């Protein structure tokens, strides 16, 4: 699943209609970003995932905020290529594995990290990253876990001002958040503004 995160960014997007999803997906691709997480926070989620999957097959679409097993199947049926959750729910993870659906659970503590690994998860979402302790906390986790293959995507409190610090951590494969798709810009149809945000973030994320 690491191939999905070569650009080191994961936009977390909440949408109210499928048309906005297609315009946003087109904006991301033209700006150079080929991944998008659409969250299960509105009634339009599945329609948005399906519209993007059918129109832009080259985009890696994730379904986010998955809280129950039924959403796992619905997300895959709609065309999502992977799923994420804010926490670790063993039943959700089991459901994802049963249908061969790549899944990234949310973790915050060492115990949750070990539970997720035991359940077969290879990439973990650290959430909420900044409140948990930010980069200092991540580096403390790397002490006992980096040699075991710890791969994290910090989300929650990550943005343009600190994303580079997170990406400098050895265990971080990508960073994500809603700053890559501000609700006000989506609502106003300011996709040119979103493109500028994405282009600037890509430049920052991929500094050598």
State the catalytic residues. 37, 125
Bridge partners, residue 71, by sequence: none
Spatial distance between the Cα atoms of 132 and 196, rounded to a whole number of angstroms: 30
Spatial distance between the Cα atoms of 184 and 193, rounded to a whole number of angstroms: 11
Spatial distance between the Cα atoms of 36 and 38, rounded to a whole number of angstroms: 6
Residue for token pair 């339009």 = 44
As given in the structure block, the two tokens for residue 109 are 């503590």
Whether cis (ω within 30° of 0) applies to the bond prior to 135 is: no
Helix 69-78 and helix 90-98, axial crossing angle in degrees, nearest 10: 40
Spatial distance between the Cα atoms of 120 and 64, rounded to a whole number of angstroms: 19
Residue for token pair 């690491």 = 2
As given in the structure block, the two tokens for residue 55 are 């129109």
């Amino acid at each position: 699943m690491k191939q999905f995160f070569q650009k080191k960014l994961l936009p977390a997007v909440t949408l109210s209609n499928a048309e906005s999803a297609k315009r946003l997906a087109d904006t991301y691709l033209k700006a150079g970003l080929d991944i998008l997480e659409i969250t299960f926070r509105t009634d339009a989620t599945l329609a948005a995932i399906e519209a993007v999957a059918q129109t832009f097959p080259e985009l890696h679409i994730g379904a986010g905020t998955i809280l129950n097993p039924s959403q796992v199947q619905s997300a895959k049926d709609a065309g999502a290529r992977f799923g994420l959750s804010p926490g670790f729910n063993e039943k959700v993870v089991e459901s994802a594995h049963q249908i061969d659906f790549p899944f990234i659970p949310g973790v915050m503590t060492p115990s949750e990290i070990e539970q997720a690994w035991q359940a077969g998860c290879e990439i973990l979402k650290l959430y909420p990253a900044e409140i948990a302790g930010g980069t200092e906390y991540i580096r403390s986790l790397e002490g006992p876990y980096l040699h075991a293959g710890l791969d994290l995507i910090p989300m929650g409190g990550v943005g343009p001002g600190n994303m580079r610090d997170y990406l400098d951590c050895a265990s971080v494969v990508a960073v994500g958040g809603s700053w890559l798709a501000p609700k006000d810009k989506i609502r106003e149809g300011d996709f040119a503004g979103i493109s500028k945000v994405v282009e600037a973030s890509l430049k920052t994320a991929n500094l050598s």
